[in-house]
Amino acid sequence: MRDAPFFRCLPVILVICLLFLDGCLGRSQSPRFYALSPITEDKAMAKSDTPERDTRIGIGPIKLADYLDQSKLVTRTGDNRLVKAEFDLWAGAFKDNLTNVLAENIGLLLPTERIFIYPWRLAEPMDYQIILDVVRLDGDLGKEAWLVARWSILGGKNKELVAASRSNIREPVSGPDYNALVSAQSRALAKLSHEIVKAIQAASRKQTGK
């Protein structure tokens, strides 16, 4: 008895179906890209004449914990367990994104347009230089984002230490996905920016005697 034409073609049909399903699954798992966002101008303090206006601010050098210096978003499921996202990625270099957002935040909060990112080629010394070591910037999906950083501020041409601190910031995450996590991380970075700016303002008032 001869096989019916349909059964002779069945292996080919199965292969085509498998290829089609594989293609559909692959398309459904396309990468998603994220970026930290700066504070908006309406949330910054009102711009007015202050000792900090037009101050030269140098941002950097900035150091990241090794596990953060990569394209994949990182979460925690415990104190010691890290999980790297498979399809949720930073849009570009994470360190550059963090540096630029920090610079934008500080420029709005002081306020000043004279923000320089390390290494700078300006012949004149910075009025203040911010050195930052990011120990932790991750979180637990649907729970909280966590930013831990050590930072110091150098002042004047002699680069005297005018402030040094360690920030430990937790920010609640409003949703279960990575987008909500990155929003919380942006808010945590905004809080760090406020802390640094307050230290610069205090140093400026001390210097001017106001």
Kindly state whether residues 67 and 25 are assigned to the same domain: no
The reply to whether 168 and 108 lie within a common domain is yes
Dihedral (CA of 77, 82, 87, 89) sign: positive
CATH code for the domain in which residue 43 is found = 3.40.50.10610
Sheet holding 115-117, edge to edge: 115-117, 57-64, 128-140, 144-155, 160-172
69 and 102 belong to one structural domain:
yes
Domain of residue 45: give its range: 32-208
CA 100 from chain centre, in angstroms, equals 9
Identify whether the C-beta of residue 94 lies closer than 8 Å to the C-beta of residue 166: no
What's the domain count of the chain? 2
Instruction: Count how many Cα atoms sit within 13 Å of the Cα of residue 188 in the half-sphere of its side chain.
Output: 26
Sheet of 32-34: strand order equals: 32-34, 82-90, 72-76
For residues 60 and 21, membership in a common domain is answered with: no
Q: Are residues 7 and 42 in the same domain?
A: no
- What pLDDT, in 10s, does the model give residues 108-161? 999 888 999 999 988 888 999 999 999 999 999 999 999 999 999 999 889 999
Tell me the percentage of the chain whose pLDDT exceeds 70: 80
Query: Are 8 and 98 contained in the same domain?
Result: no
Phi, psi torsion values for 47, nearest 5 degrees: -75, 125
Which contacts (CB < 8 Å, 24+ apart) does range 73-81 have?
Answer: 73/34, 73/178, 73/181, 73/182, 74/138, 75/138, 75/139, 75/140, 75/141, 75/181, 76/138, 76/139, 76/140, 76/146, 77/140
Same-domain pairing of 17 and 86: no
N residues, the chain: 210
Q: Same domain, yes or no, for 61 and 78?
A: yes
Question: Quick one: which of 195, 200, 189 has its CA closest to 153?
Answer: 200
Regarding whether 94 and 84 lie in a shared domain, the answer is yes
Looking at the fold, whether 100 and 179 belong to one and the same domain comes out as yes
* Residue 23 shares a structural domain with residue 39: no
98 & 4 share domain: no
Does the predicted model carry a pTM greater than 0.85? no
pLDDT tens digits, residue range 8-35?
Answer: 555 555 556 555 555 554 456 799 999 9
Tell me the two tokens of residue 6. 């349909």
